[in-house]
Amino acid sequence: MPSIIQLLPDHVANQIAAGEVVQRPASVVKELLENAVDAGANDIKLILKDAGKSLVQVIDNGKGMSVTDARLCFERHATSKIRQAEDLFSLHTKGFRGEALASIAAIAHVEMKTKQDQEELGTHIVIEGSKFVSQEMAVLPKGTSFAVKNLFFNIPARRNFLKSDVVEYRHIVDEFQRVALAHPQIYFTFYHNGSEMFNLQASSFRQRIVNVFSGKTNEKLVPVNEETEIVNIQGFVCKPEFAKKNRGEQFFFVNDRFIKSGYLHHAVMAAYDGLLKDGAQPSYFLYLQVPPNSIDINIHPTKTEIKFDDESALYAILRASIKHSLGQFNVAPVLDFERDANLDTPYHYKDLEAATPTIQVDGSFNPFSEEDKPNKHYANTSSSYRKPEPAASWESLYVGLKHDTQEVDTISFENNEVTFENDEVTSSLFDGEEVEQAVHKTHQIHKKYIVNPIKSGMIIVDQQRAHQRILYEQFLTNITVNLASSQQLLFPLHLYFSNGEMQLITELKPSLTNTGFVFEETNEDSVVISGLPVNVSESEASIVLEQLLSDLQDGIPESSFSQNDTIAKSMARSLAVKTGTYLTQKEQENLVNGLFACKDPNVSPFHKPTFITMRVEDLDKKFAL
């Protein structure tokens, strides 16, 4: 029987490996940027075309490669970082597997130019789908330039699975920010389709964070600094009042490598316990330095997950250091029973001398005198004292009042022959039974459900889901028909966002305008809003936009209907009345009537039931048990 197991050809094996390493253009950006950092570069340029689908180019001024290394770097498992197995537990560099360049070259057209500082000429290599097309000497500057063109040209199925340019660009920005934040000492520039997106000079950690996310990031940051035998923690957390709905600005760096850790994230959330609103997520930028032999970074192909030797100790240290920083900068409440805040001296009184008080006494004042002294003043203070005059004959004010009220019933004007007679006033327009039904038409239960009787029994309405359905259809109609009305603000509202968030708002601006937002000005890191939708208050504007950005963090839908649908759902989620809100009788009735005036009252915009029906027969069965 012939053998059925055989070795795969190299080009097939490289394509399979590429599926693990290169998932999208952002994966190529990550690998090339990390290689440039490992090469010791202090100036790195990233150039993109069509969100990396047509071109991803990284140019650095690192140490470069020799002719032999330039050819060998495209072979699988060829690396300069590992010599023996023990080296895996003492890594100080980004890449170490030797699969990235081989995987990229298997699915794209790659052009590499590299030169070492001591060499006169450099090496220019062109590879297409793992096949060497050319290799020649060239006059080049110091460093390395990688140009990856036509990604997935030989795997059309993978290329078809790529998202829109907007989505792919956002993933690339995420990878770029992770590398740029981990290495503030490196000068980064980022170009997309000929436009400069980022220009990050070498700076401190704090300044790099501010330059990347712009806006009012600087005033949000609270420094964290803790040194122990297990870990050294540096970085910043944001004040609780600036917490957002999404988890975009949350970064952990271990030995200058970006990682994801739900365990460490839980430690940060524990430090903020009691300081955040429900669903709010704090921003943080934390740099951890640990001994390389105490972690294992070889547990995930993308190297974004790390195994720690002593996670529980790291958890406790991280939680305590963040809590200490929040308390030290008066962000968290502090209980101090030894100190009385009323005794604190204001700063502007610190260097002033105490003024000697003066006392003035009126020697002629006699408290037992019966004389009326309306004009006499007593000047022991700046105010004056006047002896009150007794009210004379106050009883006369009410004389004849009872008689007058009794005579009001019938008044005659004989000259004009006009007579007003008292009419019989009924206590209500309805009989007793009808009044009882009108008053008790709806009931609110536990500030969550509204019960309304019907002929067959009763319906129980979820107030939050019902209001979501009402608002959703209103917003969707306004966006589609372009008939939304706006309320003008007396003072324009200034809102600040990061660069990535501003790009989303700019793309959604036409749809948001149709809902009632009026954008007076749009800057690189802020917007000026002069008008809001009718049912959006000024304090809710930032909440609505943050929720919208959170819902669109995975990308904006390409079709206009899907965009409008997403915006309407997000705004309905933000503005709907929440569970636990008390509703008046009129509000309950308006909610029920508005729900059943909708086109689809049965489900919320998120496909959950808005009400249930209970018949009298169902209740009878309950009591028959």
Mean pLDDT for the chain overall: 79
pLDDT of residue 184: 93
Beta-bridge partners for 236: 223, 285
Q: If 0-12 CB within 10 Å is exposed, 13-18 middle and 19+ buried, where does residue 184 land? A: buried
The pLDDT of 33-45, averaged and rounded, is 91
At 272 the three-state DSSP class reads coil
The pLDDT of 47-76, averaged and rounded, is 89
Residues 153-207: tens digit of each pLDDT: 888 888 888 888 878 888 899 899 999 999 999 999 999 999 898 999 999 999 9
Neighbour-count burial for 196-206, b at 16+ CB within 10 Å, e otherwise: ebbebeeeebb
Tell the CATH superfamily of the 10-200 domain: Histidine kinase-like ATPase, C-terminal domain (3.30.565.10)
Classify domain 205-328 by CATH number: 3.30.230.10
Residues 359-416: tens digit of each pLDDT: 888 878 887 876 655 554 444 444 444 555 555 555 665 655 555 444 444 444 444 4
Provide φ and ψ at 465, rounded to 5°: -65, -35
pLDDT of residue 414: 46
pLDDT of residue 1: 59
Query: In this structure, which CATH number among 3.40.640.10, 3.30.1370.100, 3.40.50.261, 3.40.50.720 belongs to the domain 445-612?
Result: 3.30.1370.100
pLDDT of residue 438: 41
pLDDT of residue 329: 75
The pLDDT of 433-450, averaged and rounded, is 68
The pLDDT of 580-589, averaged and rounded, is 89
**Domain range annotation of the chain:** 10-200, 205-328, 445-612
Of the listed ranges 95-99, 293-297, 324-328, 549-553, the least confidently predicted one is: 95-99
Whether the pTM exceeds 0.75: the reply is no
d(CA 268, CA 243): 13
Residues 523-551: tens digit of each pLDDT: 877 889 998 888 888 888 888 888 888 77
The pLDDT of 475-486, averaged and rounded, is 79
The residues near 112 (Cβ < 8 Å, ≥ 6 apart) are 70, 123, 124, 125, 127, 144, 145, 146, 147
Provide φ and ψ at 352, rounded to 5°: -90, 150
pLDDT of residue 14: 63
pLDDT of residue 15: 61
Residues 281-315: tens digit of each pLDDT: 888 999 999 888 777 665 555 567 777 778 888 89
The pLDDT of 52-81, averaged and rounded, is 83
pLDDT of residue 109: 93
